[in-house]
Amino acid sequence: MIITFATQKGGTGKTTLAIAFANFLSISSERKVNVFDFDFQKSFYHKWKEDEPLDIPKLYEVKIIDEENEEPVCDFENLIEMKESDEVYLFDLAGTLDAKYSDLLIYSDFIVIPFEYSNVSAKSTLVFINFLGLIESQAERVFIRSKYDKGYKYQNQEGMDAEISKYGVLLKSPVFKRNCLQTIDTRKLTYEQKYAVKNSFLELTDYINKCLEITL
Ligand SMILES: Nc1ncnc2c1ncn2[C@@H]1O[C@H](COP(=O)(O)OP(=O)(O)OP(=O)(O)O)[C@@H](O)[C@H]1O
Ligand SMILES: [Mg+2]
């Protein structure tokens, strides 16, 4: 199956959540996790490389996708093969819309969309939803409130929640703003990090299991 972390807005927590979810699945599921970094900044890949000296075993491989790649990873045949596979193919995208993402966004099983309630983020999320509509993406959309501040009263929360719920599933549990997530690595989840993402990720895996009639 293909699970893609994407949205049009930069800095919303895509890579952080993609790393946390890849770690979470590698630890909690029997399925093999394969990560593709499709962002020109290659943040996920660099982090994974940086973690090489750590004295903890690697949880998964991370490959980069760029123009220099000889084999096209995201062509139709490969995508269908990944989609039909029992393994998990997890993609982390850049915070910009680009035609090169279209096929992946069309054929992903799930697109995980982290968002915040700031006006800029809210607008970008709606633009991204619109883009998915235009390319006729078949993927299930899962929205996660990212960097959520418990003590803050977001004025547009109700309206935004109602709007995005028309286009996909909004997870009840937010991922709160937590310092521990700023120092995440690709080899483990600390107790604190696990606590920070657990409820959202259990909801997410439940939803995936329900949609695909599988057990992650
Ligand atoms: N839940 C969180 N709590 C606190 N800080 C967070 C959280 N999630 C992400 N951050 C921080 O926010 C910044 C942006 O996060 P991240 O790189 O994951 O976003 P992104 O959407 O991948 O950005 P880009 O669009 O540049 O790829 C990072 O400094 C990260 O450590
Ligand atoms: Mg990123």
Full set of structural domains in the chain with CATH: 2-212 (3.40.50.300)
Q: pLDDT by residue (tens digit) across 5-35?
A: 999 999 999 999 999 999 999 999 999 999 9
Is the pLDDT at 132 greater than 90? The verdict is yes
Q: What is the pLDDT of residue 73?
A: 84
pLDDT at 70: 66
Nearest-CA residue for atom 25 of ligand 1: 10
Query: The sheet that has 169-170: what strands, in order across it?
Result: 61-64, 33-38, 88-93, 2-5, 110-115, 140-145, 169-170
User: Beta strand pairing status for 110-115 and 2-5?
Assistant: parallel
Which residue, judged by its Cα, is nearest atom 28 of ligand 1?
182
- Which tens digit of pLDDT belongs to each residue from 40-85? 999 999 999 999 999 999 999 999 998 777 677 889 999 999 999 9
pLDDT in tens, 166-212: 999 999 999 999 999 999 999 999 999 999 999 999 999 999 999 99
Distance 216 CA to ligand 2 centre (A): 24
> For residue 178, which atom of ligand 1 is closest to its CA?
3
CA distance 3 to 59: 17
State pTM to two decimals: 0.97
Model confidence at 156: pLDDT above 80? yes
Helix (H) or strand (E) holding 37: strand 33-38
10 lines ligand 1 (CB under 6 A): yes
**CA–CA separation, 216 and 209 (whole Å):** 6
Spacing, Cα 154 to ligand 2 middle (Å): 24
Phi and psi for 38 in degrees, rounded to 5? -110, 20
Q: How far is the CA of 142 from the centre of ligand 2 (A)?
A: 17
